[in-house]
Structure 1
Amino acid sequence: MKMKLTCGLIIFIFICNAFVVSWNNGYDADAPESNPQEISRNVPKPLSNGVFNWSKIKVISEPVSGRDFDTRISYASRIAVENDKIYVVWWSDNNTNGAGTDDDVFYRHFDGNNWADIQVISEPVIGQNINTGRSGVPDIAVENGKIYVVWQDLDNTNGAGNNDVDIFYRCNLTGTSWEPVQVISEPIFGKNMNIGHSWSPKIAVENGKIYVVWDDVNNTNNAGNDRDMFYRCNITGFGWEPVQIISEPVSG
């Protein structure tokens, strides 16, 4: 019996070692100020599967390899891959490119040979801290070299108000320059009609059609002030369809 238990334990340990496990140590995306600032939530785990090997770690939040220029915390990275090219977004309060020490959304991509320079895409103008709200929790999608990013933001961009969190969207359709920021949680451009907080957006793209979901406490379409799942899409590439509350079984 003892021999069987020992063998079983060895087999269990071997199976567990064949997997990579990660977690976020209790990280709360909606309240970053409550999270521990001294620890890393991206501890590398060994992988041994007998077939593939991981490349060496590269710190892509640092503009220069081997130097600690980014002295702040970088959070919640998201990744997209297409044709061996890598696209990454994250958020940080580092003063990269004159973005200031408020939270901003950063972007970097790998063209197959080298990592390009870091861009602060939550700032509408390079080198200026125009967006002084808290920008964070980004998500990214890529299709045919076109890049689509969403994030949550507290800035008063396009009259969205600076007392509620909104969902911001930005795209790069040429690979070289970013289109202006759009506030897609607001039903009418330039007006702060959604006065509830909008959080944690996710984006998907297929055949040029853009789909975004997020959670929201606004009473849109009589959904109440509880937390609901909102959905919005851009089918033509030119304009967004009205917001839908998909967590409610009956509209209105």
Structure 2
Amino acid sequence: MKKIDIFFRLVLAVLITLSLMISCCILPQAFIDNDAHPSLPNANSSWFWSNYEILSDTSTANAYSPQIAIDSDNNIHVVWYDNTPDLLSSGGDSDIFYISYNSEIETWSPLELVSSESTDTSLHPVIAVDTNDDIHIAWTDWSDYLGADTDRDVFYKKKNAGGSWTITSVISTDSTLTIHEELTIYVDNNDNLYIAWSDPTDILGADGDNDIFLKFYNDTASSWSSTTLISTESSAYAYKPQIVANSLSGDVHFVWYDYTDILGADTDGDIFYRRWNVYTSTLSDLNLLNSFSDLNSYNPKIALDQNDDIHVIWADYADYLDSGINQDLFYKKLYTSSDSWGLTEVVSSESRHSTEHPDIVVDKNGFVFVAWYDATEYSGAGTDFDIFFKFRDPSINQWSITEVVSVESNDLSHQPELEVDSFGFVSCVWIEQEDLDSSGTDPDICYRKFAGTPSIPILSPIIPNPSSIGNVSLEWSEILSAEEYAVYRDTSYIWSISGREPLSITTDVSFTDTLNETGFYYYAILANNEYGTSAISNVEYVEIAEETKTGLFTSLSLSEILIMAGVVLGLQIIVSVITYSLTKGSSSKRKK
């Protein structure tokens, strides 16, 4: 028994020794934060809403229906319609106005009149930006212009980057009746332009109810297509189309709401989806997105992400997933690789009042941002309508808590519109009736931005390690909200960068350092933007050896070699102990 006890003590000692060796070798890794999940704003983060700005400060009447777009330089473009009498010599009717924000000099441009050829009421503009940063604006207009007659039609205008406006064009040339007041516009990555609207004109077999129509501009051919009927199965009223387009596949994705009793939808308003392919001029099968709902559904919005997946949000009165009998917001995602829809999710989980006019955008990391207006008395919002906002984290497939955007308002705030820039910052415009900054109690256009410091970059392990004197290559994760990165180096572990000067500042996600002396070198990365600096990245080290090793262990680091040596030593000790015990036991037996 004594020999067995000694044997197990020796084995335990060997295991403890091996454990300590391994722990010592990987100690620097113990301090690495490997959480690559981007930190985005919520109640406990460094992201925030900027101060509000009144964009329609020259308006003395009603400013409505704002829309927003952001170009490749992160300049912001906003349009709305305004019935201020003779604003910019526009006459006494409602007209379309445009303003832009220059991100470099951080100022808003003077107001511009878009509907300069119109002689009657102009309403509900939409806006898009192409890859050349040209601005495309469409709207509905009652003017008898270019043979449009006095019914409401779709008008269009373009502003070249840095410059002038084209003359107004009439898009709904086949329409002979008054189209629905709201339309949609989209520009794909090939600069093809798509405009869709709802129209009661009986063309292409549409009958006399409102149907969804499309026209697109082929940028290569420099010509407009003929009109295409999208809602071919609809026999009731189809309204408010929304579109996105994939230039690679040629698919144009549509959502709208429709009162047609088809696919089991019944005669209440329901949300429908389908695709039209620009290359083959073919329509996909019709999809009913809210098959669970037996009450009215309205106002769908659609967004396209970096994987070409489709995100849809809409307002629905259905009491689904315990959402209650008030109108709530629902969300669904189409995975285009498998052509399958995910489960329906309730977005407005904190709301106790009807939610209205949702909008949705997706950033390059797949974060989904949603805004709407709501009279729920939530987070100090009061019982007036306010702008609510939340986002969906793709790494955990969960929604954030709701935030109130229009916190300064004690009056009606409504019709939010969102856009996201290349840094992942979210811009929001909405209609505000609070007398903010002496703007009066008439409806005005309000703007603010959701932004903050970058999330933590993740520094990759340095390869090879050990390395020889010369160049050492560093690589780290790209942070969407970062403008630049600071590289830090030391010969001891970097616990803090306080008081340190960076080795280099770069806009790249890689850096090559030159080391001329042997030893251990430690590196860390910080991400910077105009709002501040991220927390320190994980720390990685490299051993610089005197000369390049050759042979079996060339590719192994010092820690890996020590671990292997420890394992071999431990096994040797265990074998020796067992051999000794067996030999000793045999000798004792022979003596007896």
TM-score for the superposition, normalised by structure 2: 0.32
The corresponding residue for 2:135 is: 86
1:142 corresponds to which letter in structure 2?
V
* Pair 86,42 (structure 1): closer, same or farther in 2 beyond 3 Å: closer
Residue matched to 1:6: none
Flag as ranges the 4+ runs of structure 1 deviating above 3 A.
Answer: 20-27, 37-45
Q: 1:186 to 1:50 in 2, by over 3 A?
A: closer
| Equivalent AA in structure 1 for residue 290 of structure 2 | S
**Contact 2:206-2:232 within 8 A present in 1 as well:** yes
User: Contact 1:74 / 1:93 at 8 angstroms: preserved in 2?
Assistant: yes
Aligned to 2:476: none
Residues 151 and 21 of structure 1: CA distance in aligned 2, closer, same or farther (over 3 Å): farther
Q: Counterparts of 1:132 and 1:44 in 2: how far apart (Å)?
A: 29
1:159 aligns to 2:205 (yes or no): yes
Which structure 2 residues correspond to residues 42-191 of structure 1 after superposition, within 5 A?
Answer: 52-63=106-117, 70-82=118-130, 83-112=132-161, 113-124=163-174, 131-136=175-180, 137-143=182-188, 144-162=190-208, 164-174=209-219, 176-187=222-233
Q: How far is the alpha carbon of 1:233 from its aligned partner? A: 0.6
Q: In the superposition, relative to structure 1, how do residues 41 and 94 fare at CA in structure 2: closer, same or farther (>3 Å)?
A: closer
User: Do the aligned partners of 2:96 and 2:125 also contact (CA within 8 Å) in 1?
Assistant: no
CA deviations on 1:199-221 (whole Å, 9 max, x unpaired) are 01111112332101000010111
- How big is the shift at 1:84? 1.1
The 3 A distance-change label for structure 1 pair 212 and 44 is closer
1:158–1:141 Cα change, 3 Å: same
Quick one: structure 1 residues 62 and 26, their matched pair in 2 at CA, closer, same or farther if it must change by over 3 Å? closer
Please say if residues 97 and 111 of structure 2, whose CA atoms lie closer than 8 Å, have aligned partners that are also in contact.
no
1:224: how far off?
A: 0.3
Is 1:222 matched with 2:261? no
- Identity, in percent, stands at 27
How many residues in Structure 1 have an aligned counterpart in Structure 2? 208
Report the 3-state secondary structure (helix = DSSP H, G, I; strand = E; otherwise coil) of the residue aligned with 1:145: coil
Q: How does 1:27-46 map to 2 (within 5 A)?
A: none
Distance 2:166 2:55 in 1: 28
| Residue 235 of structure 2 is aligned to residue 201 of structure 1 | no
| 2:211 and 2:231 in contact (8 A); partners too | yes
Distance 1:161 1:135 in 2: 14
2:287 to 235, 244, 249: 244
Cα drift, residue 16 of structure 1: 9.4
Q: Deviations over 1:46-104 (max 9, x none)?
A: x9x995111121111113xxxxxx22111111100022111111001111111100010
Q: Deviations over 1:135-192 (max 9, x none)?
A: 2411011011201110010111112112x111111111136321110110113xxxxx
| Matched position secondary structure for 1:98 | coil
Describe the shift of the 1:247–1:38 C-alpha distance in structure 2 as closer, same or farther (beyond 3 A): same
What's the Cα RMSD here? 3.2
Contact 1:25 1:41 in 2 (8 A): no
Letter in 1 for 2:242: K
Question: 1:116: how far off?
Answer: 1.3
State the Cα distance separating 1:17 from its structure 2 match.
Answer: 8.7
Partner of 1:4: none
Return the structure number with greater strand share: 2
Q: Secondary structure at the match of 2:116?
A: coil
Q: Distance in 1 between matches of 2:104 and 2:169?
A: 37
CA-CA distance at 1:20 after TM superposition: 3.4
Which of the two has higher C-alpha Rg?
A: 2
Provide the rounded CA distance (Å) in 1 between the counterparts of 2:50 and 2:97.
16
Q: Post-superposition shift, 1:235?
A: 4.4
* C-alpha distance 222-25 of structure 1, shift in aligned 2 (>3 A): farther
Residue 224 of structure 2 aligns to a residue whose secondary structure is: coil
Q: 1:196 Cα deviation (Å)?
A: 0.9
Which residue identity is paired with 1:135? I
Q: Measure how far apart 1:111 and its partner are.
A: 2.2
User: What residue identity is the alignment partner of 1:119?
Assistant: S
